[in-house]
Amino acid sequence: MKQEIKEGEKVTKEKRSTKGWVYLLIGLVIVYLLGLFTVTIVRGVMSTNIITNAQDRVATWFRDFTDTVKIESKKDSDTTEEKNDSSESKNTSDNIVLNVTSEEKSRIEIVKQSMPSVVSIAVSSVSLNQSGTVDTTSNIGTGFIVDSSGIVVTNNHVVEDTSSDYVVVTSDGTVYKTKEILKDSAYDIAIIQIDTENKDSKFTAIELGDSDNIVAGQSVIAIGTPLGEYAGSVTTGIISGLNRSVTAGSSSWYGSTSKTYEGVIQTDAAINSGNSGGPLINSSGEVIGVNFATTSSADNISFALPINKVKERLKEYKTYGKFIKPYLGVSYETISQIYALYYNVVPGAFIKEVESGSPADKAGIKKGDIITTFDGQPVTGSLTDMIQTKKVGDTVEIKLYRDKEYVTVSATLKEAD
């Protein structure tokens, strides 16, 4: 009995040991399954997050792409509208909207206001071809209207050929014959009266300024017909200098073909052949000068006659129907103090030519003399201006420097033809 019990106890212990291994194995399996389950859940969550993020990124990219397409579409639409607007502006040029500065706007307004008053001076001629006679006009210069009755100002050298038939071409292309031309060679000024041929024509006159009230640096506008082809051409610049002395023609010291103009305005506004006689306009739209000369050996150096000299002649023309000009009859060049020191002479008006039968000729003034005083006043500037302060018939005392000696003569001024 005891032995069975012992054996039985032994058997029981072995059974209990086997069960323990089974429980351990089951536990390991459960732990493994739990671990596998946990890993699976974690992976699922991570996978879900990745997918979600990817979906978010795709959605964001798609949204951005859609917005971009919308923007580009809007730009294309705007561009089309702009092109349509541009096309409409071209079709109706009067309604063009410009993006300009206040300075540009002012300049544009001045040009628009002045243009109807600027004219081309042309030569009318008749030629033959296979069809017969042909009337042609060739632009040679510029002018500007100063009175609604059709009074035009230009340069004397533009209309100095007495054998030519001159006409005036207005800004709208209308060609008018000239009724009368008055010339002042001393100042290179000419006044033309337009022949309206019984037409009820009214002309737009431009405003005249004050050339005694200008300074270097002021903005100016030049309008003219450069090269005789481009009517209404506009150039801009500034007043570069005042009271310049300009010799037009030959520059030879003893040349007889040149003429000196005193007190003229220098500008850097482009002035070319054909611009002569055109207006030099200030920033108020007023004419302050008459363009008349430029340099061939340098750029941006041109000259204009002061408008106040023109105003004097206009007053005479309107009052007397002609220019009242006292006349001495000399061609001269002003010698400054510096030139006098260089040439070892005295300052004054160096006489280059004396017109036969003129007051100067009758007074005994000779070529090569230097007029040092005129009626008691030293000649330091324009002799022409000094003569114009006198009246026709005045007798003036003139002091000359000749052969290193001083000679005094008297001359009675005549009226210029």
Active-site positions read 157, 188, 276
CA distance 277 to 291: 5
3-state secondary structure of 258: coil
> Would you tell me how many other CB atoms lie within 10 Å of the CB of residue 275?
30
Decide if 275 contacts 225 (C-beta within 8 A).
Answer: yes
CA distance 365 to 174: 49
CA distance 177 to 169: 9
Give the largest CA-CA distance in the chain. 189
Question: What's the length of the chain?
Answer: 417
Tell me whether residue 85 is exposed, middle or buried, using C-beta atoms within 10 angstroms of its C-beta: 0 to 12, 13 to 18, 19 or more: exposed
Tell me whether residue 158 is exposed, middle or buried, using C-beta atoms within 10 angstroms of its C-beta: 0 to 12, 13 to 18, 19 or more: buried
Cβ burial 382-417 (10 Å sphere, 16+ → b, else e): bbbebbbeeeeeeebebbbbeeeeeeebebebbebe
Q: Which residue spans within 45-163 are E strands per DSSP?
A: 118-129, 132-147, 151-154
Tell me whether residue 236 is exposed, middle or buried, using C-beta atoms within 10 angstroms of its C-beta: 0 to 12, 13 to 18, 19 or more: middle
Q: At 153, list the tokens.
A: 């100002």
Q: At 272, list the tokens.
A: 């070319």
In sequence order, the 6+-apart residues with CB closer than 8 A to the CB of 25 are none
